Amino acid sequence: MAMFRNFAVIFSVLALVPLCFAASGGGYLYPQFYDHSCPKAKEIVKSIVAEAVAKETRMAASLLRLHFHDCFVKGCDASLLLDSSGSIISEKQSNPNRNSARGFEVIDQIKAALEKECPQIVSCADILTLAARDSTILAGGPSWDVPLGRRDSLGASLSGSNNDIPAPNNTLPTIITKFKLQGLDLVDLVALSGGHTIGLSRCTSFRQRLYNQSGNGLADSTLEASYASQLRSGCPRSGGDNNLFPLDLVSPTKFDNFYFKNILASKGLLNSDQVLFTKSAETMALVKLYAENNELFLEQFARSMIKMGNITPLTGSRGQIRKNCRKLNS
């Protein structure tokens, strides 16, 4: 169909369009930000991410998730990376991140290499953004030019992390509201949810669907019965909180549209996945569209990632360029 444009043409066009976004602090984000101050920056990030994913395939999803959880709290400013210290209470202790956010050591490794190459030039916030893009590519997903020039926050928000990040058991209206608060619309919501095409989830994130979805002691009726039985075998009523299951049971390490095909088959793992199909005609239509057309999904995922990466970044003289992503400069 004419609306489904040739994938190669789409990305050729995207590559030619200069990506330049106005940001808070009067500065701009643009892909060439480090071309003169640290020309090897992108290659250093790419190389270390590739090493990490080669060692552990799951790391691609983990690094993508770090960027998402960073941007939804105070914007894309690496606040998530700060450890607790002094007046700072780390976002790593929040419900969405505790015992599940991972990949911090990879970010540390990238930062150490960049500090050696060009001290105090490349921000931790930009490292997170580049690592998310590179992880997506390594899993077989789309590429895109990453606008750069973010600076790092001077604080963290535990309450923001607890309240602003969409949760697995949130209702669809709540999830939509949380996206809207970040300037992201329904198309962004469904496309970015497609990031669950890779990665693993803990039993504790979906147990409710297996045993007591509506408070009546019954499983979620929108969960396919044989799949629910399979999940119960590894996710008991109590215990096993950290048992891991693929978010995409068909191709858990490949970045593709099987996530959406699974939802059509009532095999979305998280409640927040399945409600995209069962609770809204608009999101249902998008799920069907991406299930039918992988190239369209990949194109929109790239566009929505650029948009998410532009959530209230610090630029100009705001914030700082941390020497160590885990703590403020002394």
pLDDT tens for the chain, 330 residues: list them: 443 333 333 343 344 344 666 554 446 899 999 999 999 999 999 999 999 999 999 999 999 999 999 999 999 999 999 999 999 999 999 999 999 999 999 999 999 999 999 999 999 999 999 999 999 999 999 999 999 999 999 999 999 999 999 999 999 999 999 999 999 999 999 999 999 999 999 999 999 999 998 888 889 999 999 999 999 999 999 999 999 999 999 999 999 999 999 999 999 999 999 999 999 999 999 999 999 999 999 999 999 999 999 999 999 999 999 999 999 999
- Grouping H, G, I as helix, E, B as strand and the rest as coil, residue 275 is helix
Cα separation of 250 and 261, whole Å? 9
pLDDT score at 180: 98
pLDDT score at 23: 56
Question: Does 36 show up as a binding residue in the annotation?
Answer: no
Question: Does 79 show up as a binding residue in the annotation?
Answer: yes
- Grouping H, G, I as helix, E, B as strand and the rest as coil, residue 201 is strand
Residue 154 CA: distances (Å) to CA of 82, 88, 157, 265: 9, 9, 11, 45
Cα separation of 324 and 28, whole Å? 24
Against a cut of 0.85, is the pTM above it? yes
Sequence-ordered list of residues with C-beta below 8 angstroms from that of 92, at least 6 positions apart, any chain? 80, 83, 84, 98, 101, 104
Sequence-ordered list of residues with C-beta below 8 angstroms from that of 168, at least 6 positions apart, any chain? 201, 205, 206, 270, 271, 272
User: What are the helix and strand counts (H, E) for the chain?
Assistant: 14, 4
Question: Does 77 show up as a binding residue in the annotation?
Answer: yes
pLDDT score at 24: 46
Q: Find out whether 201 and 244 touch, Cβ atoms under 8 Å.
A: yes
pLDDT score at 16: 36
Q: Is 69 a catalytic residue?
A: yes
Phi, psi of 54 (to 5 degrees): -65, -35
Query: How many CB atoms sit inside 10 A of residue 116's CB?
Result: 9
Q: Roughly how many angstroms between the first and final C-alpha of the chain, as a whole number?
A: 58
Sequence-ordered list of residues with C-beta below 8 angstroms from that of 73, at least 6 positions apart, any chain? 79, 80, 91, 156, 157, 160, 161, 164, 165
Instruction: Give me the half-sphere count of Cα atoms (radius 13 Å) on the Cβ side of residue 322.
Output: 26
Phi, psi of 285 (to 5 degrees): -60, -40
Question: Does 185 show up as a binding residue in the annotation?
Answer: no
The one catalytic residue among 69, 92, 267, 322: 69
Task: Output the CA angle 195-197-198, nearest 5 degrees.
Answer: 90
Question: Does 35 show up as a binding residue in the annotation?
Answer: no
Q: Find out whether 128 and 311 touch, Cβ atoms under 8 Å.
A: no
Cα separation of 330 and 317, whole Å? 17
